[in-house]
A and B are shown apart, each in its own frame.
Chain A
Amino acid sequence: MTRNGKKKRIGVFVCHCGVNIAKMVDVERVAKELEDYPGVVYSTDYIYMCSDPGQQLIVDKAVEERLDSVIIACCSPTLHEVTFQKAAERAGVSPFQVEIANIREQVSWVHTDREEATRKAVRIVKSTVEKVRDNEDLEPIEVDVTRRTMVIGAGISGIQTALDIADQGYEVLLVEKEPSIGGHMIQLSETFPTLDCSQCIMTPKMVEVSRHPNIKLMTYHEVESISGYVGNFTVKIKKKPRYVDEVACTMCGDCEEVCPEVVPDEFNMGLSHRKAIYLPFPQAIPGTYTLDIDSCLGLWPIRCSACKDVCEVNAIDFDQKEEIIEEKVGAIAVCTGYDLYTMKSLGEFGAEKYEDVINGLEFERILSASGPTGGKVLRPSDGKVPKNIVFIQCCGSRDPENHKPYCSKICCMYTAKHAMLYKHHVPDGQATVFYIDVRTGGKRFEEFYHRTVEEEEVLYLRGKVSKVYKEGDKIIIHGADTLTGKKIEMEADMVVLAMAMEKKEGSEELLRKLNISADADGWLAEAHPKLKPVESINAGFYLAGCAHGPKDIPDTVAQSSAAAAKVGGLFAKEKLQHDPAIVPVIEELCSGCGICVNVCPYDARELDEERGVVTVKEVLCEGCGACAAACPSGAAQKRNQTDRQVFSMMSAILRQ
């Protein structure tokens, strides 16, 4: 009620927002009715409070009327609360004495009766006066920041993020669960729309990462757990045993030659084979062999140990054990990428039943000079050149009833690229593409698509395929041409399915460890779909690349650099400020029941068994108020939103 022993002097500023508010609310009447309200010493209205003259009005009147608190009746606090707090500060009013009464989103935009709307606006402003009466001046909580970032995932997104942060002079831990960095991009043949070789543009970045003094590369590592808060995370990282000393290994390949175990090669999408001890691909970083223990005959030398016996530099060490490494970081960038939707789900296309029905990534490997066919387009079943190839777009995408509701975004372009590259390899072959729409939103994408159709003479048929089956060694395709309305039955030697992209396998578990959220499809959720696209809702977490949703390489790189810039912004601060509007414990009232400890989603509350009261880790508390609602004795009171304030606000609203 009082400030420095005197009654608070409160000012009310009612905004018209052009006609946004004024059309449905009689703003002048609102200002007028507030004039006589207890505590209010000044009340006025103005057309645009957020404009420079509007802000100046607040500053001038605050000084002139010696205001202790300021209320602006305007739009949602998410938009201009900070604007008005800064303005009030210029007049010497504490930002904690500035309150927003939302009369736009909660009144003018949602009502149709002007009289009723005006009455509601008056009540909302009056209740805000009741709240601000008891607002205290708070001091921000300051915390240190560890200027070190953990980047999870080392595909193009993680690599770009790591490099851009490292170039700003900050340390980076780049954690990758696979034996080598590179992700999906290193698997690709050529990239649209310029057709530059993916490996040629990717490997320099990979080398740069491995040489960068600020980057600590942690391949074959997985995030185990995370604790702490923005600026001060403690992460535990599991180092998986490689059973090969990565420094000693000279990549001579002797071990691979003698290894008796043959398994499908993941890098080539199972189109070729590797040994149990293997180098994922020639340019792998770090350049070391890895022993895949799941395929190995066993670590008991008595069982095999052929690789160990033949290794001249004694790099193979069967005694390596899993290790847990603890590190401190201030920010975490999640760049975990995507998986292709499983072909199993498309039974009608015979996927995973017929060898010559493959997915886009498999075709990338077939096109790649370093791939299983040495860059020749040969079909997997018999190694013949497919003279007739059919591409099916939207396999699993844009099908909310059966598969994924979203567009996977890159398939139109990579299918056009596939068809074009196929024609380059097999000029006398026929390429046919089934599509729903061709979406070419991107720089020089449309031109690329036109080249595919016009210069390469790829046949584009609009329609969906209903069935793919085999008759003898021919693949038969049934479908519909929705432009002519005719049924289509055609033969093909090979079919390439543009499978939908989906969230990385195991990403739910990682998100649970990180305690960050995802959308309904499992893609990482950004803090704001337009204005905060690279930040997670949880402070200190950044996201980039396909972990956030389907996107192409240029978009991924741009988003990764943006995430790195945001991390730089965080690290540029001397100290981090934490909102002091937290929920402390009134120890005299606390019975030590511990209910609030269990409801706290941020692990900010702890029961002090000895004293029988709960204590609060202030920097962890986000002020959500879950504990305040749960506390049976009123010992948890959110600062500037105490029970007393809430009740007086309710009285003001309900009073006739």
Chain B
Amino acid sequence: MADNKRKLHYYPGCTLKEKTTHLDVSTYAAMEILGYELIEPENWTCCGAEYPLNEEMIMGLTAPVRILRQVEIEGGDKVFTVCSFCFNVLKRANEAIKSDPLKNKRINAFLKDDIHIDRDSGEKTTDFKQYNGDVNVLHLLEFIRDWVGYEKIRSLIKRDLSGIKVVPYYGCRLLRPKGRTAIDEPDDPSIFEEFLENIGCEVIDFPFKQECCGSYLSLSMPDAASEASYNILRSAKLSGAGMLALSCPLCYYNLDTRQDRIRENFADSPEIPVLFFTQLLAWALGVDEEVLGLDQHYCNPRTALGIDKSEVKK
């Protein structure tokens, strides 16, 4: 059976191996059912988390480009991520090296002198070939729409999610900057909605799906971040949603983990379960509850998912 699986490069990013392992695990579980064997590029590092805002910051682009070059060396023509930040950095770095000849030259000059030592054999590799942006960087939502196809997803659905009223939350990194590095039209996106509809959820439109969650301000200006997050949670609740779906670990931290911190400033801040889209996908495809990592959530999503308490006990 395993032989039939198609190999596919997957870049998880650091947060998925630490704070949000449930995002990583649910991705593996869902992709296995969809028939893919995921390969993580050897020796992958942090992507840099932020795409350098300074045009001259070439160093900030070396990490993502090194990761993409590794995918190419391993024979991959595409790589997907589920973390919005990683997607944004990898996609934009790839675009820069593809469309900006000067950046291409400078980054490749940095990376040419890399020394790679094979983990098992200890064999040294030097003199790397030029990387020109030929690996296709995708977010899993795009991969599902364009490569897997919604029809296949629908045919593999094992659980009925029709009672789940969910709002899709894009955040900023999937949609901005506008143009080739965004997965959809920033002001009127629909890819997340389509995905949720196709796995059987009841999708509810809500106006704050592209608003900022507060991002890193939760560290430097926690009150400001709380306000931003509160507005999103409040709007989701007002729209009649029972759950919020997203793809970004930082948004998840701000909107789920910090829910009690938000209530310090906004007592009426609603308690609303926040799930990764991969958890919903895996759940729909019949993955066992234990795999989803539901205990890692601040706000228990079990009721929203329709998991009966008695079933949990089982």
Contacts and interface: CB of A to CB of B under 8 A. Distances in A.
Asked if A and B are interacting partners, one says: yes
Interface of A: 344, 346-348, 350, 353, 402, 467, 469-472, 476
B238 A347 contact: no
Nearest to A353: B205
B187 A348 contact: yes
A346 B185 CA distance: 11
B178 A467 contact: no
B207 A347 contact: no
B3 interface: no
Nearest to A350: B207
B189 to A, nearest CB: 8
16 contacts: A346-B187, A347-B185, A347-B186, A347-B188, A348-B187, A348-B188, A350-B207, A353-B205, A402-B178, A467-B207, A469-B207, A469-B208, A470-B207, A471-B235, A471-B238, A476-B207
Contacts of B185: 347
Given A347-B188, A350-B207, 14 more contacts: A344-B188, A346-B187, A347-B185, A347-B186, A347-B187, A348-B187, A353-B205, A402-B178, A467-B207, A469-B208, A471-B207, A471-B238, A472-B238, A476-B207
Nearest to B190: A347
Contacts of A353: 205
Interface string B170-201: 00000000100000011110000000000000
Contacts of A402: 178
B25 to A, nearest CB: 34
Nearest to B235: A471
Interface string B126-169: 00000000000000000000000000000000000000000000
A350 B188 CA distance: 9
B242 to A, nearest CB: 18
Contacts of B178: 402
A367 to B, nearest CB: 28
Nearest to A344: B188
Nearest to A354: B207
Interface of B: 178, 185-188, 205, 207-208, 235, 238
B200 to A, nearest CB: 24
Nearest 3 A/B pairs, CB to CB = A347-B188, A469-B207, A347-B187
A346 B205 CA distance: 17
Contacts of A350: 207
B167 to A, nearest CB: 13
A350 B185 CA distance: 14
User: Among B178, B186, B207, B235, which residue has the most Cβ atoms of chain A within 10 A?
Assistant: B207
Contacts of B235: 471
Contacts of B207: 350, 467, 469-471, 476
A325 B168 CA distance: 56
Contacts of B205: 353
Nearest to A346: B187
A479 to B, nearest CB: 14
Nearest to B238: A471
A467 B187 CA distance: 9
A402 B179 CA distance: 10
A407 B106 CA distance: 41
B313 to A, nearest CB: 40
A471 B207 CA distance: 9
B143 to A, nearest CB: 24
A589 to B, nearest CB: 48
A644 B186 CA distance: 61
A353 B205 CA distance: 10
Nearest to B178: A402
A344 B205 CA distance: 16
A66 B99 CA distance: 66
Nearest to A476: B207
A404 to B, nearest CB: 16
B186 to A, nearest CB: 8
Contacts of A472: 238
B205 to A, nearest CB: 8
B61 to A, nearest CB: 24
Contacts of A346: 187
Nearest to A468: B207
Contacts of A347: 185-188
B307 to A, nearest CB: 31
A472 to B, nearest CB: 7
A141 B208 CA distance: 69
Nearest to A402: B178
B265 to A, nearest CB: 17
Contacts of A348: 187-188
A314 to B, nearest CB: 50
Contacts of B238: 471-472
Nearest to A401: B178
A470 B188 CA distance: 15
A420 to B, nearest CB: 31
B235 to A, nearest CB: 7
B162 to A, nearest CB: 24
B298 to A, nearest CB: 26
B144 to A, nearest CB: 23
A353 B209 CA distance: 15
Contacts of A344: 188
Nearest to B210: A348
B112 to A, nearest CB: 36
Contacts of A471: 207, 235, 238
A472 B235 CA distance: 10
A476 B208 CA distance: 12
B20 to A, nearest CB: 29
A181 B95 CA distance: 51
Contacts of B208: 469
A353 B208 CA distance: 15
A350 B205 CA distance: 11
A362 to B, nearest CB: 20
A541 B188 CA distance: 41
B284 to A, nearest CB: 27
A465 to B, nearest CB: 12
Nearest to B185: A347
A444 B178 CA distance: 42
A122 B135 CA distance: 60
User: Among A344, A346, A347, A402, which residue has the most Cβ atoms of chain B within 10 A?
Assistant: A347
B23 to A, nearest CB: 28
Contacts of A469: 207-208
Nearest to A472: B238
B256 to A, nearest CB: 23
A467 B205 CA distance: 15
A401 to B, nearest CB: 8
B213 to A, nearest CB: 15
Contacts of A470: 207
A372 B150 CA distance: 42
A349 to B, nearest CB: 8
B174 to A, nearest CB: 15
Nearest to B239: A471
A350 B178 CA distance: 18
A342 B159 CA distance: 41
Contacts of B188: 344, 347-348
A348 to B, nearest CB: 4
A353 B185 CA distance: 16
A451 B211 CA distance: 38
A354 to B, nearest CB: 10
A402 B238 CA distance: 31
A350 B210 CA distance: 13
